[in-house]
Homo-oligomer: A and B are copies of this chain.
Amino acid sequence: MYVCSMYTSELIKGTLKTIVLTLLKENGRMYGYEITQRVKDLTDGKIQITEGALYPTLHTLEKNGEVGIEEEYMGKRVRKYYTLTEQGQVTAREKINEFADFISTMKFLLDLQPKPGHA
């Protein structure tokens, strides 16, 4: 079994939006810092989303109408909670399906598994 503390960053590229949209779909609403910690916990530290990558991505998702924001103050400190819009839910499904199909294709290509079905 292959063991590593963290993936080369190349692999994670292109999956950030998919991860964020999926977590929001599963958890209803989350704030940015929470997302970084959740991903770190769920993956035993193998995937660590940096804030420099996450926050700009969240801003882009908002501009594109995929997520909405609610600000909440915990004492004096602001938290920005993000929730999927209807469009965001559609995009989340699409991204997840696309990724599932992609890894199926890659598994076949890398000879890790029989050819995926065409059904």
Please list the residues of chain A having a beta carbon within 8 angstroms of any beta carbon in chain B: 1-2, 4, 7-15, 17-19, 22, 26, 39, 42-43, 46-47, 96-103, 105-112, 117, 119
A-B contact pairs, 7 of them (CB 8 A): A2-B98, A7-B102, A10-B15, A13-B13, A47-B109, A103-B106, A103-B107
Query: DSSP class of A's interface residues: helix, strand, loop or mixed?
Result: helix
Q: B22 near A111 (CB under 8 angstroms)?
A: yes
| Chain B residues whose C-beta falls within 8 Å of the C-beta of A13 in the assembled complex | 10, 13-14
Q: A119 near B7 (CB under 8 angstroms)?
A: no
Interchain CA distance A117-B8 in the complex, whole Å: 21
Q: A39 near B109 (CB under 8 angstroms)?
A: yes
